[in-house]
Amino acid sequence: MLTIAQILSQELGQKQEYVENIIGLIDEGNTIPFIARYRKEMHGAMDDTTLRNLETRLTYLRNLQTRRDEVKKSIENQGKLTAELSDAIDAAATMTEVEDLYRPYKQKRRTRGSIAREKGLAPLAEAIFAQDGSDPAALAKDYVDAEKGVETLEDALQGANDIIAEDLSDDADIRKALRQLVLRKGVFTCKAAPDAEENGVYRLYYDFSQPISRLLDHQILAMNRGEKEEILKPNVTLPGSDGAALVCRRALKPTAQVSAFVRSAAEDAYERLIFPSIQREVRNELSERAYAGAIRNFALNLKPLLMQPPVKGFVTMGLDPGYRNGCKVAVVDPTGKVLATSVVYPTFSEKKKQEAIATLSALMRKHAVRHIAIGNGTASRETEAMTIELLRGFPEASYMIVNEAGASVYSASPLAAEEFPEYDVNLRSAVSIARRLQDPLAELVKIDPKAIGVGQYQHDCPQKELDAALGAVVEDCVNAVGVDANTASQSLLQQVSGLTAATAKNIVAYREENGPFTSRAQLKKVPKLGPKAFQQCAGFLRIPESREILDNTGVHPESYDAAKALLTLLDCRKKDDLSQLTQKLEGYGSAKAAAECGVGEPTLLDIAKELSKPGRDPRDELPAPILRKDVLEMKDLKPGMELTGTVRNVIDFGVFVDIGVHQDGLVHISEVCSRRLRHPSEVVKVGDVVKVVVLGVDEQRHRISLSMKQAKR
């Protein structure tokens, strides 16, 4: 039997030595970001996604082994564990296969089969199932016993039928073969409930039929939700008689005369016991696949959203649009500190709109506002039109529509109340919108990722798995960028490798009491931040105020000696211009230099990269967000018009693109590119700036159809 390390090595296509190293590192309490960044020599420079997949599979395989041991122990306690059965359980590759093997030995509620056994009919069932040519009725005569509840010959035969049917339904090989048959040849059907609305949101599934092998994840999720809302009635079917024939082939002995009784029992087992159970299992398997896909898709979308390039170094105005309660306004300085707040009412009347423009103009002049962030919610279109008029007097300024999903959740949270006790909920939202433009990552980490809204059917997914996947994405993004230990919020700090909510809070308290950190080593003085936590977090925390330049890079303290040795080797000093350090290292020979500096080559290359750009932000290397000065309306769009937009969401069937008309347009998966795609994420991600061509506009239904493949490259 293969070890867990061997299985993972084969599944991931990685050296077994690397897999064993990673398992050891995880078991020692190292985090995935730390392993990915600072232990590259031990795992061959796998990326964080591969390491996360390995960790997830490791957990599953360990749970599978635990379950195997539990099942074998339970069967052994019954005195029924054979060497053959033990080997079969050990060889089972999934939880489902283990449970199939355990099924005959599991404690069951009383069934027709168990009641027949209580009446002493098990020997009769065995004799009939032997199919040696004996007449079942003749065999049954000896089992008629009124005292045992078997009053007639028919009662005895029915009891034997129930036992045979139950035994067949518990056969692991039959269940596995039938499950595979249903997945291969089954059909997923769906009908509307009697009281479903004629043009309801689920109308595509009112009379739906699709082979299971071609069923798409978003279809499964839609029908599951429709079933939950009692609008749809989905079902798994297996046309024809293949299913019953499979069970009969396994039940009937080919060398014996075909037994009509056993055939009848096999057909009863299929119709009454096996197929209904397989239907439920296949539905669950399809749902689990769809939920896993939805979670994976959400994570794929969340990462580029969090990693959007920040618009740094400018005073920014945040506008949270609204009708009845007006448009909330917040002006923040380049560090996100609130300078001013206000409320204007541009949607009430033309007079109120001009008053709003005058108020905002005064704020822009007073605080030298360069960028305006507008939330994309209610009244966003009217607020955008007002902003265009406002910017005519400020040609140097620009604006951007910001996804405000989750802003209201944050505004009403205890965290926001603690951060802005002097402002009401609505004004906090405007501050959040402004900061989302300045530094999306620092602001979005304060919000439950599920509230950000870049997935599909995320609220239907298993919340534990969803939280774990999204939490891993947030952790990876924060650690990839690095965190300024002297300015970061507690929300941001607690996402750093090795830190918890408690240690993050202690870091904030320590710097408030003692002033800014002046070195990484000073972090060791923070209460409850022990040696292990320091090892895990130190490389991801930046100290710009430190005299030691390495403290403001991604170089880990454990590699400082190697970094200094590298500078000496290449005849450089820390105060020199080190922008060409990587090229110098290549000229010297990275393998040779690594040996002389006493570290692995991947680590030395990372050190050189960090020293060449101390304090660098990897997000700065990504395409800048689109800042606008004008606006289109839906009525301005015409088929064939070519526009530039920003990808807002990537889902199974297409891509939603913001083209500056308040309503996002949909690029169907068939219009993403010329080649056939399994998923749009193969070629595009959230935050990408793309060229699109307008295919059609439906103003009444607020729908815009776009094409990426028809746009000029």
pLDDT for 94 equals: 94
The predicted structure's pLDDT at residue 409: 80
Q: What is the pLDDT of residue 576?
A: 79
CATH code of the region 316-438: 3.30.420.140
Q: How confident is the model at residue 257 (pLDDT cuts 50, 70, 90)?
A: low
Question: 390 CB contacts (<8 Å, ≥6 apart)?
Answer: 357, 360, 361, 364, 372
CB 183 within 8 A of CB 282: yes
CA distance 320 to 430: 5
Picking from 210, 213, 190, 211, the residue whose alpha carbon sits closest to that of residue 202 is 190
DSSP secondary structure letters along 259-302? -HHHHHHHHHIIIIIIHHHHHHHHHHHHHHHHHHHHHHHHHHHH
Degrees to nearest 5, angle at CA 614 with 609 and 620 = 85
Distance separating alpha carbons of residues 100 and 169, to the nearest angstrom: 10
Condensed to tens digits (0 to 9), the pLDDT of residues 665-676 reads: 999 999 999 888
Q: Write the pLDDT tens digit of every residue in 299-354.
A: 888 888 888 889 888 999 999 998 888 999 999 999 889 999 999 999 889 999 99
Q: Quick one: average pLDDT of 88-115?
A: 92
Calculate what percentage of the chain has a pLDDT beyond 90.
65
Look-up: residue for tokens 């009769």?
Answer: 124
Token couple for 602: 């991947």
Strongest mean pLDDT among 215-224, 459-468, 621-630, 670-679: 215-224
Q: What are the residue boundaries of the structural domains of the chain, listed by start?
A: 4-105, 112-297, 316-438, 511-621, 634-707
Could you tell me if 676 and 693 are in contact, meaning their C-beta atoms sit under 8 angstroms apart?
Answer: no
Confidence label for 449 from pLDDT (cuts 50, 70 and 90)? confident
Domain 112-297 CATH superfamily: Tex N-terminal region-like (1.10.3500.10)
**Neighbouring-strand partners of residue 651:** 654
pLDDT number for residue 620: 77
Q: Domain 634-707 carries which CATH code?
A: 2.40.50.140
Whole-angstrom distance, CA of residue 331 vs CA of residue 319 = 9
Q: Tell me the percentage of the chain whose pLDDT exceeds 70.
A: 97
**Mean pLDDT to the nearest integer, 435-460:** 83
Query: Per the structure block, which two tokens stand in for 469?
Result: 């996947």
What integer is the mean pLDDT of 603-618? 87
Q: What DSSP string describes 302-339? A: HHHHHTPPP--SS-EEEEE--STT-EEEEEE-TTS-EE
Please give the Cα distance from 325 to 629 (Å, whole number): 26
Does residue 712 have a pLDDT over 90? no
Both tokens assigned to 25: 């590192």
Tell me how crowded residue 430 is: count the other CB atoms within 10 A of its CB.
30
Distance CA 319, CA 431 (A): 8
CA distance 589 to 488: 38
Name which of 318, 332, 150, 174 is nearest 246 in CA terms.
174
| Token output for 115 | 């009641």
pLDDT tens digits, 361-406: 999 999 999 999 998 878 887 898 899 899 999 989 999 888 887 7
Q: Who's near 432: CB < 8 A, 6+ residues apart?
A: 318, 404, 407, 410, 411, 416, 443, 446
Apex 433 CA angle, 431 and 435, nearest 5:
70
Residue 64 CB: number of other CB atoms within 10 A?
A: 18
The sign of the torsion formed by the CA atoms of 478, 480, 485, 488 equals negative
pLDDT digit string, tens, across residues 538-593? 999 999 999 999 999 999 999 999 999 999 998 888 777 888 888 988 888 999 99
List the structure tokens of 255: 């060398």
Q: What whole-number distance in Å separates Cα of residue 656 and Cα of residue 659?
A: 10
How do the residues of the chain divide into helix, strand and coil, expressed in percent and rounded to 5?
Answer: 55, 10, 35
The upper half-sphere exposure of residue 461, i.e. CA atoms within 13 Å in the direction of its Cβ, equals 26
Domain 511-621 in the same topology as domain 4-105: no
Among residues 94, 25, 97, the alpha carbon closest in space to that of 55 is found at 25
CA–CA gap between residue 266 and residue 249 (Å, rounded): 9
Residue 258's pLDDT band, with cuts at 50, 70 and 90, is: low
Q: 469-488 b/e with 16+ CB inside 10 Å = b?
A: bbebbbbbbbbbbbbbbbeb
Provide the edge-to-edge strand list for the sheet that holds 187-192: 207-211, 187-192, 232-237
pLDDT at residue 686 in the model: 86
Mean pLDDT over 448-463 rounds to: 79
Query: Residue 60: which residues within 8 A CB-CB, separation 6 or more?
Result: none
pLDDT top residue among 296 and 275: 275
Give the C-alpha separation, 68 to 32, whole Å: 28
Please give the average per-residue pLDDT across 33-49, as a whole number.
93
Write down the architecture of domain 4-105 according to CATH: Orthogonal Bundle (1.10)
Q: Is residue 263 scored above 60 in pLDDT?
A: yes
Q: Quickly name the fold that domain 511-621 has.
A: DNA polymerase; domain 1 (1.10.150)
pLDDT in tens, 682-710: 999 888 888 999 999 888 778 899 999 88
Q: Is the pLDDT of residue 631 over 60?
A: no
**Confidence band (pLDDT; 50, 70, 90) for 97?**
very high
Give the alpha-carbon dihedral of 434, 440, 443, 445, to 10 degrees. Answer: 160
User: How many Å apart are CA 185 and CA 413, to the nearest integer?
Assistant: 50
Q: What is the mean pLDDT of the chain?
A: 91
Q: Write the pLDDT tens digit of every residue in 157-207.
A: 999 999 999 999 999 999 999 999 999 999 999 999 998 888 788 999 999
In angstroms, how far is CA 468 from the centroid of its own chain? 8
What are the CA-CA distances from residue 584 to residues 577, 587, 596 (Å)?
Answer: 12, 5, 15
Q: What is the mean pLDDT of residues 121-149?
A: 92
**Residue that the structure tokens 């692991």 belong to:** 172
